[in-house]
Each structure stands twice: as C-alpha cells, then as structure tokens.
C-alpha cells in the first residue's frame, strides 16, 4: 500500500478518536458522504470561518455579509442554468456494477502518468545530487517530454468532448486509454450519461398542492437574488462584494476521500460586482489575494498551485482552482471564477425585475460583472488537519502524535492542568482557568498522569499546557509547555494572558 494511503487512514482515524469528525448516523452504520463535526471539529471549523470572514468582510470596507436561506424559489435554478447544465458525466462498469464519474476516471489515469514523471524526477535528483536542476530536467528529458505530451493530448480530447457534450467521445477516450474498473478489473463499460447533481424535495403538506424545490448546490445564488437588496440597504458602490458562509448540497456520483467530496458540505463564497470590462483586472486581484490568504498559514508554499480551467462552467469566461497537496495528491481547494453578467442577467430575465446598477461616475446603468471566490469549508478543514498531523519519535525513544495546527486555529488554546487532585491545586487551576477562558478557549483536565495529559493535548493541537504544581501555591508561578518544542518555562500567572495572546493572535495572518 502506498504510504500516503497509510497516512490518510491515520488522519481519518485520528479525526474520529479525538472528536473532530464522525460519520453521520454512525449507529445506523452511517450515511455515505455525510459527516458530523465533534467538539474539537466544530471549534476548528469556527476558527477557519472566522479567519475567512475577518479577511474577506471585516478587512474590506467594500464587502458585506449575507445569510440567505437554503430553500429558494425553484425558478432560481432554472435561471442559473443548474436545472439544465449542472450535470456530471456518469459511467457504470457492467461487471462490478460500480458507478464512476467518466471525467474522474480519465483524470485518475492522468494522475498515474504524473506520478511516473514525479518518480523520474526524484530518481534523477538522487543521481545528480546538488547539481540537479529540476526545471532543466523536466523541459529536456525525452521520457518526461513524451509523458507530458500524452497528458496534454488526453486533456485536450477530454475537454473537447466534454465542452461539446460529446459523451460518446468521452467513452471512446476511456476505451482507447484502456481504463479498467478498479473493482472488477475489466473495461466493460456502459455508455456515458449526464446526471444532474441537485437534490430535489417538496415544499407543502399535500401532494398536489406542493411544489418541487431544490437544495441549493451553491450558496452563490442567494447572493445574486439579493444583489439589489444588499446594494441599496448597505449603500454599496461598485466595485463591492457580498460574502456568505453556508451549506450546499450535491448528489455526487462518487463521494469519497472522507470530507473532501461530500453530499452535504459548507461553502464560503464571495461575489464581487464590478464594471463590465474590468472583470479580468479583478479576477487577477482575487487570485493573488486568495493565494496569499492560504500561504499566510505557513503550510508550505510548494503545497499550493493554480490550475486554470480549460473546460469552463456554463457561467464563466475564466476560471482557476487553487489546488492543495492533500495526502492523495494535488486537488481543488478553492475556485476563482469570472462569472460575467450571466447570473444577474438570467435572474433579470426570469424574474422580470431589473437587476442593474446606476454608476454615478459613468452616468449610466448596467448589469454588473461578477468575480467569485468560492472555497469549501470542509476541504479547508481537511487541509489543516492532514497537513498538521505528525507522528514524532522523541529523544527518549517514545513517540507522540501531534497536530501542528497554526495556533490561532487550534480548537483549544490552553489546557489547564493541576499536577495532582489535592493540596489546593485544582482550586488554583480553576482560578487560572477563570482568568483565561473569557478570551481563549481553555480546557481543564485533572485525570491521568501529567505525561498522558500532555499527549492528549498534543493530539488535538493545543498550543499550550499550563501546569499548576506545589510551587504555584507558594510563589504564584506555573509551568507553560509549548506544543511544538515541548519546552517548559516557569512564569508568573499574570504573564500567561500575554504569552497566549501573542501566540494565537490572528492579526499577523491578516496583515500579510
Ligand atoms: N459557486 C461556485 C461553485 O460552487 P465549485 O468549484 O463547484 O464552484 C466551490 O465549488 C468549492 O466548493 C470547491 O472548490 C470545493 O472546495 C467546494 N466543494 C464543491 N463540491 C464539494 C463537495 N462535494 N464536497 C466538499 N466540498 C465541495
């Protein structure tokens, strides 16, 4: 088994064991692709939301928030194009009866060729040592150039077929590449069909008086239909943005990789309304801004890359993904899309209401263009969790599992630990807890040996452990242990607030 699979399995097991993520309805054997966030998970999720909201809304005078309902008038989804075009190409293997996304089968095939390139590069780097120049190697080595050519040709065929709706072409490509079902090992495929990803439900008590509704597949449409409400009441001038965080639902054909692809998930989206003709300038601005937001977390610049779309969604004239190197490879974390005036124009036509902006500087009205940033909260959660998971061998021969989560995102900021349960230590510890808990999420723990308690806090990523011991009762000092270095320092109780505040300060992440 490849090592990354081992690591990923460990991350998933860790998420459950330490109260981050549970399978939904687990006592009934779970529901595929639905997950519940436990006590530590919900804290981490809230901290990520806060980081996004502060950066996008609080730090931008021209961006305001919204919390639109999940249920929307059904015409919304006709206008947005989701009823007709929000489809994935689906294919079944006749022997295993397993269902796949046809484009994902092809992408997985490409990923295998990419892995071979990666292997060649690693081998060459070892062989040439310090003299190795990766850029030169990948642009001149014959075998790598051949492999890259193969990838480009497959991508081109797939994109041409998908964008022209040529499903037969997609099937032919799968057959030409001799892609086999991972379960049955055969290439006995059905035809490729389109599958709409929206969940349908009914509103109303009686069958004949009810109307069909969809669970929103993106939060963005709640923003578009409220464009004028927000612009007028918040007195916004173009360019301006509307941001929201909320649930979205997609009936994914193949939901896999834990919380990476779910059927119910959460998005953090911002629609930025601009003058027609200025959208590419803003598209570049938001690409740069969002990449910096990710990189500020210090999870390695080399773990992010842009992936420009060739096969554009029905509403976009330019689109890129910010990809992150998950344990299972580089995958989409966030999308940045230039959505033109497609959505507002479509809602204008279907509702019969004008959705225009009078630009006082130009002295004219127009339907604004839109640049969107859209990130999955659950995927962001997975980047933080998987990147911060470490198994460390210690100098004394023991080992520990530690989550090296950026301190300001950690679920618990400080653990307050009386060394023993007697001699007034618990009472003193509660006093310290009371002093800190108003500003920081703290946890009081008195059970088990101090070593075991340190390990438990390491495993959930708590940046500080504060131990109250005999000396505390004499001179009001405690030991404060750093999660990453495991070093302990003795400080007076009145210094604790400042030490924690400095470490978990969100400001330095927002300034960069
Ligand atoms: N409003 C645009 C939009 O929804 P998208 O690329 O389909 O664009 C945006 O989705 C982001 O939502 C993705 O980059 C991803 O992070 C997240 N996302 C999409 N489908 C998801 C799923 N099934 N499970 C978890 N996150 C998902």
Looking from the CA of 263 toward its CB, the CA atoms found within 13 Å total 15
Across 82-91, 229-238, 496-505, least confident range: 82-91
State pLDDT tens for residues 141-190. 999 999 999 999 999 999 899 888 899 999 999 999 999 999 999 999 99
334 lines ligand 1 (CB under 6 A): yes
Ligand 1 atom nearest the C-alpha of 321 is: 14
- Residue 2 confidence (pLDDT) above 70: no
Q: What is the pLDDT of residue 4?
A: 73
261 lines ligand 1 (CB under 6 A): yes
Q: Nearest 5 degrees, angle CA 481-CA 487-CA 488? A: 50
Mean pLDDT throughout 353-380?
Answer: 97
Cα-to-centroid distance, 194 and ligand 1 (Å): 19
Cα-to-centroid distance, 167 and ligand 1 (Å): 23
Cα-to-centroid distance, 324 and ligand 1 (Å): 14
Domains and CATH numbers, the chain: 1-86+197-393 (3.30.930.10), 88-195 (3.30.40.230), 399-510 (3.40.50.800)
Across 125-129, 214-218, 311-315, least confident range: 311-315
Secondary element (H or E) of residue 268: strand 264-274
481 lines ligand 1 (CB under 6 A): no
Phi, psi of 508 (to 5 degrees): -65, -25
Cα-to-centroid distance, 21 and ligand 1 (Å): 19
Band (206; pLDDT cuts 50, 70, 90): low
What ranges in 336-403 are assigned the alpha helix state H?
342-351, 377-388
218 lines ligand 1 (CB under 6 A): yes
How far is 339 from 273, CA to CA, in rounded Å?
Answer: 10
Ligand 1 atom nearest the C-alpha of 269 is: 1
Contact between residue 183 and residue 93 where contact means Cβ atoms under 8 Å apart: yes
Q: What is the pLDDT of residue 314?
A: 76
Between 501 and 254, name the one with better pLDDT. Answer: 501
The overall longest dimension of the chain from CA atoms, in Å, is 80
318 lines ligand 1 (CB under 6 A): no
Secondary element (H or E) of residue 308: strand 304-308
Burial of 300 (0-12, 13-18, 19+ CB in 10 A): exposed
* Per-residue tokens: 9: 């399995």
220 lines ligand 1 (CB under 6 A): yes
């Amino acid at each position: 088994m490849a090592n990354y699979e081992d690591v990923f399995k460990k991350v998933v097991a860790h998420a459950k064991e330490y109260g981050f993520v549970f399978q939904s309805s687990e006592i009934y054997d779970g529901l595929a692709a639905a997950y519940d966030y436990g006590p530590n998970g919900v804290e981490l999720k809230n901290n990520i939301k806060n980081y996004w909201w502060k950066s996008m809304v609080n730090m931008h005078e021209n961006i305001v928030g919204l919390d639109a309902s999940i249920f929307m008038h059904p015409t919304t989804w006709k206008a947005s194009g989701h009823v007709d075009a929000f489809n994935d190409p689906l294919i079944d293997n006749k022997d295993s009866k397993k269902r796949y996304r046809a484009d994902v089968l092809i992408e997985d095939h490409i990923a295998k060729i990419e892995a071979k390139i990666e292997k060649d590069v690693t081998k060459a780097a070892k062989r040439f040592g310090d003299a190795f120049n990766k850029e030169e190697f990948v642009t001149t080595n014959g075998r790598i150039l051949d492999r890259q050519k193969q990838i480009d040709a497959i991508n081109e065929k797939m994109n041409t077929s998908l964008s022209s709706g040529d499903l037969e072409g997609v099937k032919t490509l799968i057959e030409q590449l001799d892609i086999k079902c991972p379960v049955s090992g055969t290439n006995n495929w059905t035809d490729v069909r389109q599958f709409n990803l929206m969940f349908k439900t009914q509103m109303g008590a009686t069958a004949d008086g009810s109307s069909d509704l969809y669970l929103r597949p993106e939060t963005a449409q709640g923003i578009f239909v409220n464009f004028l409400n927000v612009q007028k009441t918040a007195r916004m001038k173009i360019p301006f943005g509307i941001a929201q965080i909320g649930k979205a639902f997609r009936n994914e054909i193949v939901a896999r990789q834990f919380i990476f692809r779910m059927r119910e998930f959460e998005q953090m989206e911002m629609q930025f309304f601009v003058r027609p003709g200025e959208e590419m300038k803003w598209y570049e601005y938001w690409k740069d801004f969002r990449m910096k937001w990710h990189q500020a977390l210090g999870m390695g610049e080399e773990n992010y890359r842009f992936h420009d779309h060739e096969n554009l969604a029905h509403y976009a004239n330019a689109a890129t993904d910010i990809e992150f190197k998950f344990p299972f490879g580089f995958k989409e974390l966030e999308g940045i899309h230039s959505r033109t005036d497609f959505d507002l124009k479509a809602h204008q036509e279907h509702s019969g209401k004008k959705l225009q902006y009078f630009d006082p500087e130009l002295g004219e009205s127009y339907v604004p263009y839109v640049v969107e940033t859209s990130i999955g909260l659950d995927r962001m959660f997975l980047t933080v969790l998987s990147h911060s998971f470490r198994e460390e061998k210690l100098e004394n021969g023991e080992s520990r599992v530690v989550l090296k989560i950026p301190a300001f995102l950690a679920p618990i900021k400080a653990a307050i630990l009386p060394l023993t349960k007697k001699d007034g230590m618990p009472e003193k510890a509660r006093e310290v807890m009371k002093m800190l808990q108003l500003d920081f999420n703290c946890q009081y723990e008195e059970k088990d040996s101090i070593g075991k308690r340190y390990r438990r806090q390491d495993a959930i990523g708590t940046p500080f452990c504060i131990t109250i011991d005999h000396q505390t009762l004499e001179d009001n000092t405690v030991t404060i242990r750093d999660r990453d270095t495991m070093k302990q320092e003795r400080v007076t109780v009145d210094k604790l607030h400042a030490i924690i505040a400095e470490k978990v300060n969100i400001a330095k992440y927002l300034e960069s």
